[in-house]
Structure 1
Amino acid sequence: MRKRGFEVIAAYQDQAINLPKRATKNAAGYDFEAAEDIVIPAVWKQIIQHFVKGSAVAGKVVKPVLVPTGIKAYMNQDEYLQLANRSSNPLKRFLALSNGVGVIDSDYYDNPDNEGHIMFQFSNFGLADVQIKKGERIGQGIFLPFLKADNDEATVERTGGFGSSDNQ
């Protein structure tokens, strides 16, 4: 019986995507790789460009970049996959996870919108754009259990993909 693990989503089946793996036997996190080349633009560059063009709108100046992994994760109903940044990303490349940590719920797997495609959401606080290459390690995922409150009454089923619970 399968408990938890990773699969390549259909759209990336023929693109030599590596499943996440732990670097050492005592590592908690599974290292995720970028599924394609992508550029994370410098936040400061985006801000300056918007102000020069005179099109700065509150909340719309800087947008995080979603970095695709080509991976989906399955797990038990009382577990989630926590996405965390690599410790070297902020220190060496000024890359931060825009949402702090990512939470991949068990019902995200195989959702009808995007098959449960896991993406890392980055902002670049450096002065220069950062190029991420396909196959480069970008973050890690840690499977964790969670608990429910005594008065929990959640009954709604997931109907979509990325950020779909915002629509509830």
Structure 2
Amino acid sequence: MKRGFEIVSKYQDKNLNLPYRSTNHAAGYDFEAATDFVLPSIWKGNFLKVLWALRHKQAVSETDLLNGSKDLKPFLVPTGIKAYMQDDEFLLAANRSSNPLKRNLILPNGVGIIDADYYNNDSNEGEIYFQLINMGLRDITIKKGERIGQGIFMPYLQADGKDEHATKRVGGFGSSGK
């Protein structure tokens, strides 16, 4: 088996679909939400107050900025899916082209990188999540089975020599960067 998808154990009996290509020449595999998920609007809470204060050149405390940034945090939408691949490959997690236009949903990091050693890690079995921010005015309910993003298998190259900083993965989501 070179590359593909599996359902993580906690979703085995939840009737999930494995990612799929929607057309014969599609590069990306469409991922669906594993559960219903409410994605709050960024326009709630302290975010508007901080913007108003900044616009009107009023003093904004560090506390206000920190509380404002909580309103901008991405939410992790579960897919219930893990991906296996060759050691010299990764899965590029990308937004669907319709998400920003039709639903005001963005990936705050632009793309996500799922490394080959993320598969079956001890922390979360390698479950793939899509980080999303709702830029719309109202909360959005993503229904189970709705397409939320796409994944593209990609090869990568390594520099000559041994990378002395590389270690064995010991965690799940976000564990390779400290």
**TM-score, normalised by the number of residues in structure 2:** 0.86
Q: Residue 32 of structure 2 contacts residue 145 of structure 2 at CA under 8 Å; is this kept in 1?
A: yes
Aligned counterpart, 1:96: 106
Q: How far, CA to CA, are the matches of 2:100 and 2:171 in structure 1?
A: 31
- Alignment partner, residue 82 of structure 1: 92
Look up the match of 2:175: 164
Q: Distance in 2 between matches of 1:50 and 1:38?
A: 26
CA shift in 2, pair 1:44/1:25, >3 Å: same
Q: Which runs of 4+ in 1 moved over 2 A?
A: 46-51, 54-62
Partner of 2:54: none
Which of 9-18 and 158-167 deviates more? 158-167
Aligned equivalents of 2:23, 2:95: Cα separation in 1 = 17
Residue aligning to 1:19: 18
Provide the alpha-carbon RMSD of the alignment: 1.8
Determine the C-alpha separation between the residues in 2 that align with 1:144 and 1:123.
25
Task: Work out whether residues 86 and 140 of structure 1, in 8 Å CA contact, stay in contact via their aligned partners in 2.
Answer: yes
Q: Does 1:56 align with 2:55?
A: no
Deviation at 1:63, TM superposition (A): 1.5
**Secondary structure at the counterpart of residue 56 of structure 1:** helix
Q: Deviations over 1:103-157 (max 9, x none)?
A: 0000000000000000000001111111100000111000000001124514311
Tell me which residue corresponds to 2:32: 33
* In 2, Cα distance between equivalents of 1:100 and 1:46: 24
Contact 2:47 2:72 survives alignment (8 Å): no
Structure 1: which 5+ runs fail to align?
A: none
Residue 58 of structure 2 corresponds to none
